[in-house]
Amino acid sequence: MSSDFLCENTRKHLAENFVYFYLKSRHFFLIPKSKSNQLCELVKEIVLKFADDYFLLFEQFLKEECPSIVNSYNSYKNKLNLQEMIDLSLEHLLSNKKIFEILQNKFNFVEPIEIIDEESKLKILYIPIKETLSSIIKNETLLKYIIINSYLNATNKENFFFKSTYFEEHISPLLTNKNGIFIKLYSDEIEICNPIGSAKTKHKLCVVYFTILNFPEYLSSSSDLYFLLTVFNDSNVKKKGLQFCLFPLIRELNELYFEEFQISNLIKMPVIAAFMTGDNLSIHRMLGMQTWFSSGYICRFCFIGYKQLCSIRLEELSTLFLFEYRDNSSYIEDFKSLSNGLISPSVFRSVAYINFQYFSPLI
């Protein structure tokens, strides 16, 4: 029985190639001519059988793995040659769509959305929090943690975050139903080439991740449970501003707070970005603050200037705590006037509930 997919010409072509190979080897191994024709026939027979078996397996594989190919190319049966078949299946199997399909089914992967600015053609990749959460809650253990650790009853205070005064004073009042999914954002810049080489900064990327604070600490600190949110070229920030780079995140944070995340038919919870961490450079940029630290306002917590800080003598260290500290309203004021170290209004000012005094704590 020969495979439907195997075109007669392809079989012939394969057999001829093997015979050619055999003739070459016959020459090499000095096989007498009298045996030659007999051996040629034998080789042909073996090759054709092998080809039939191989193509039957191949066809079966296609039917199981990518029925769309089998269906859409049904009419071409017996017309495709070997190379076309290989090209066709590779094209399908190696397409981004197929790869994500496999990753999605087998590993609960969430496909990133590519956002391109029409005018500048700059690109950002964004992985919706909603999709990631939907994928996370497929895991029953993680789902259990989210649900149990979202109800703020007295018995549920082992979680360090829930015990904090910050949670009590600033996050808890945001909840209408005493439950929620709390996330921590983390941003950093990475160089995918030698940072002291000639291509320095050329391939620099900015990435934002999130973790879920409802999980017990041993889980939320595991790198397996750090979820990628967005990736963009660092130069996009200079060209188009963080406003463009983070707009999908800001929009989704507002949506997930006001419209909430549907866990099941009965359970719905708001998602709240409780705070954001990162190095000074990254966080200052997120806050809209100056990103140089050798002059001007170098601290996001207080109004101390670089010069003033340098002139403090050791015996005056205790005065450090007497400085005037920034708070949410001073941040809002400084966004308007772009003063006191603020060089642009933070993109996070558009997230309805963020309190800038606590949003980026010292970790």
Binding site for Zn ion (CB under 5 A): 299, 301-302
Relative to beta strand 181-191, strand 261-262 is: unpaired
How far apart are CB 277 and Zn ion at their closest, in Å? 17
333: Cα separation from own chain's centroid? 35
CB distance 288 to 335 below 8 Å: yes
Closer CB to Zn ion, 211 or 346, in the complex: 346
Nearer to Zn ion, 247 or 323 (CB): 323
Amino acid sitting at position 233: N
Q: Which DSSP string do the residues of 138-172 spell out, in sequence order?
A: TSHHHHHHHHHTTS--TT---SHHHHSHHIIIIIG
How buried is residue 311: exposed, middle or buried, by Cβ count under 10 Å (0-12/13-18/19+)?
A: exposed
**Burial class of residue 267, CB neighbours in 10 A (0-12, 13-18, 19+):** middle
**Residue closer to Zn ion, measured from CB, 208 or 299:** 299
To Zn ion, the closest distance from the beta carbon of 323 in angstroms equals 6
Closer residue to Zn ion, CB minimum distance, 225 or 302: 302
Q: How far apart are CA 65 and CA 320, in angstroms?
A: 66
Measured from the CB of residue 342, what is the shortest distance to Zn ion in angstroms? Answer: 15
Least CB distance to Zn ion at residue 296 (A): 13
Share in percent of the chain as helix, strand, coil (round to 5): 55, 15, 35
Kindly tell me which of 107 and 321 has the beta carbon lying closer to Zn ion. 321
The beta-strand segments (E) located in 222-333 are: 227-233, 261-262, 268-269, 271-278
Which of residues 94 and 322 has its CB atom nearest to Zn ion in the complex? 322
Longest CA–CA separation in the chain, Å? 106
Closest listed residue to residue 275, CA positions, set 130, 132, 168, 166: 166
Min separation Cβ 299 and Zn ion, Å:
3
Minimum distance between the CB of residue 304 and Zn ion, rounded to whole angstroms? 5
CB of 190 to Zn ion, least distance (A): 27
Please identify, using beta-carbon distances, which residue of 76 and 301 lies nearer to Zn ion. Answer: 301
Nearer to Zn ion, 145 or 297 (CB): 297
Shortest CB 168 distance to Zn ion, Å:
24
- Which residue is nearest to Zn ion, using beta carbons? 299
Backbone angles phi, psi at 207, to 5 degrees: -125, 145
Alpha-carbon gap, residue 73 to 85, rounded angstroms: 10
